[in-house]
């Protein structure tokens, strides 16, 4: 157990780290941010900031010496940095979890091993493989880089997966190791956010329903428009993945639900997740407070829904709506303090609450 009064080290300086640090404060923890960026929304609300690249071993060692437990707020922290810190202090989640979730193929292979359904997928690491795998699919497909993809970056949709089209997409993505996925004609997208403590205790939030625009999450709704049977199956998928990975902390699993009621795993985020931001106002315990509890070995909080809610991301210029949003008593505005508005950049979010049961 890492008791209140201790210092949590967070690798990554974005808005997720900012909201973890804000949730850590009322539980009596201090946060120390480690990230190389010029601007760090998390560092603005944390006690300490080490601004250094993830391969600076001296800076990593000094960081590890100054904290009591370490966590991540984005999944692409280099494995070597995680291992360096893990040699000195508890690293939650562990490097093994990130090794799987940094690689879309390893992630899907884990799901398959656990009997969890996914879109049909094939490894593509050469032009020949790109051509051959295309023959296994009829209709549309998506080619994704195995590593470093997010918010639609590193992926190309292919309307008809002919060998020529897949080879061309593979060349466009830079001829790096990829995964070719069959296109899923889903009815809706959901995510399950689950927390797991070092002792294996687990608590899951009911699924969130997510809508994307231009590959970026636009809106999440709680509860999702799905029946209890799908809720149970979706939670079972998240539980099984968290246990198999021996994950510690909050983890999100994105899934597709088909018109026939099938639940397919899309991807795992081994961290707090954009679709759970509405838990700050709508749940008994926010996903951020839950993450702090999980990594510090405290009892997990109640995941009960206290209100129905809709969260909308303020992406790019949409953040300029803030004066209007402040006038709406039902809206809870969160701005991330980023100085420059850029297209596609998450600048903030707004959560609207509704009476419990109003959205079902
Ligand atoms: P990802 O980066 O894998 O989370 O994909 C981003 C978004 O692209 C997902 O949330 C879906 O909306 C869409 N997408 C990804 N993979 C597929 C697929 N196999 N079939 C249909 N849509 C997909």
Please tell me whether residue 7 adopts helix, strand or coil conformation. strand
- State in Å: Cα 157 to ligand 1 middle: 9
Atom 13, ligand 1: residue with shortest CA distance:
215
| Domain range annotation of the chain | 7-91, 120-182, 186-354
> Residue 322 above 90 pLDDT?
yes
The residues, ordered by sequence, that sit 6+ positions from 318 with a Cβ below 8 Å of its Cβ are 347
- State in Å: Cα 72 to ligand 1 middle: 23
Within 6 A (CB) of ligand 1 lie: 119, 142, 149, 152, 181, 183-184, 189, 212, 215, 254, 266-267
Look at residues 339, 342, 274, 345 and name the one whose alpha carbon lies nearest to residue 39.
Answer: 339
Cα distance from N-terminal residue to C-terminal residue, the chain: 39
What is the number of other CB atoms lying within 10 angstroms of the CB of residue 127? 15
Please tell me whether residue 283 adopts helix, strand or coil conformation. strand
Cα(342)–Cα(301) distance, integer angstroms: 36
pLDDT band (50, 70, 90) for residue 19: very high
The residues, ordered by sequence, that sit 6+ positions from 9 with a Cβ below 8 Å of its Cβ are 31, 32, 34, 63, 64, 66, 67, 68, 69, 70, 71, 85, 89
- State in Å: Cα 307 to ligand 1 middle: 29
Q: What is the pLDDT of residue 270?
A: 97
Pocket test for ligand 1, best of 138, 266, 270 (most atoms within 8 A of CB): 266
The residue with tokens 């509704």 is 354
Atom of ligand 1 nearest to the CA of 266: 3
Cα(115)–Cα(173) distance, integer angstroms: 30
Q: What is the pLDDT of residue 281?
A: 98
Its CATH class, for the domain covering 7-91, is alpha beta
| Least confident residue range of 31-35, 156-160, 186-190, 300-304 | 156-160
Question: DSSP characters for 24-42?
Answer: HGGGT-EEEEEE--S--TT
Please tell me whether residue 189 adopts helix, strand or coil conformation. strand
Kindly report, residue by residue over 169-217, the tens digit of the pLDDT: 999 999 999 999 999 999 999 999 999 999 999 999 999 999 999 889 9
Look at residues 66, 95, 100, 99 and name the one whose alpha carbon lies nearest to residue 81.
Answer: 95
User: Could you tell me the CATH superfamily of domain 186-354?
Assistant: ATP-grasp fold, B domain (3.30.470.20)
- State in Å: Cα 105 to ligand 1 middle: 14
CATH number, domain 120-182: 3.30.1490.20
Look at residues 336, 319, 292, 340 and name the one whose alpha carbon lies nearest to residue 14.
Answer: 336
Percentage of the residues of the chain whose pLDDT score is greater than 70: 100
- State in Å: Cα 266 to ligand 1 middle: 7
Atom of ligand 1 nearest to the CA of 182: 19
């Amino acid at each position: 157990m890492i008791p209140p009064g201790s210092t949590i080290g967070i690798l990554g300086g974005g808005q997720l780290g900012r909201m973890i640090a804000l949730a850590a404060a009322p539980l009596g923890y201090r946060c120390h941010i480690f990230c190389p960026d010029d601007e760090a929304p998390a560092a603005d609300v944390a006690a300490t900031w080490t601004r250094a690249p993830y391969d600076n071993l001296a800076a990593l060692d000094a960081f590890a010496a100054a904290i009591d437990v370490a966590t991540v707020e984005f999944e692409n922290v280099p494995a070597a940095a995680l291992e360096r810190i893990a040699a000195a202090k508890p690293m939650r989640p562990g490097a093994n979890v990130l090794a799987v979730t940094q690689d879309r193929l390893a992630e899907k292979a884990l799901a398959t091993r656990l009997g969890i359904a996914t879109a049909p997928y094939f490894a593509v690491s050469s032009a020949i493989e790109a051509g051959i795998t295309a023959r296994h699919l009829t209709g549309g497909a998506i080619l994704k880089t195995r590593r470093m993809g997010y918010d639609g970056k590193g992926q190309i949709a292919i309307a008809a997966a002919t060998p020529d089209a897949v080879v061309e997409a593979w060349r466009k993505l830079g001829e790096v190791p990829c995964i070719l996925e069959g296109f899923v004609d889903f009815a809706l997208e959901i995510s399950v956010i689950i927390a797991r403590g070092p002792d294996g205790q687990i608590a899951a939030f009911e699924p969130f329903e997510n809508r994307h625009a231009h590959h970026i999450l636009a809106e999440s709704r709680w509860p999702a428009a799905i029946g209890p049977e799908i809720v149970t199956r979706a939670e079972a998928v998240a539980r099984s993945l968290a246990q198999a990975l021996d994950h510690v902390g909050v983890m999100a699993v994105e899934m597709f639900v088909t018109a026939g009621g099938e639940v397919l795993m899309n991807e795992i985020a081994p961290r707090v997740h954009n679709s759970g931001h509405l838990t700050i106002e709508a749940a008994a315990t926010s996903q951020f407070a839950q993450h702090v509890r999980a990594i510090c070995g405290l009892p997990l909080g109640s995941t009960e829904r206290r209100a129905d809610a809709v969260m909308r991301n303020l992406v790019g210029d949409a953040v300029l709506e803030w004066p209007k949003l402040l006038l709406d008593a039902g809206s809870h505005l969160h701005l991330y303090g980023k100085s420059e508005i850029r297209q596609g950049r998450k600048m903030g979010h707004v959560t609207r609450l509704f009476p419990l049961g109003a959205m079902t």
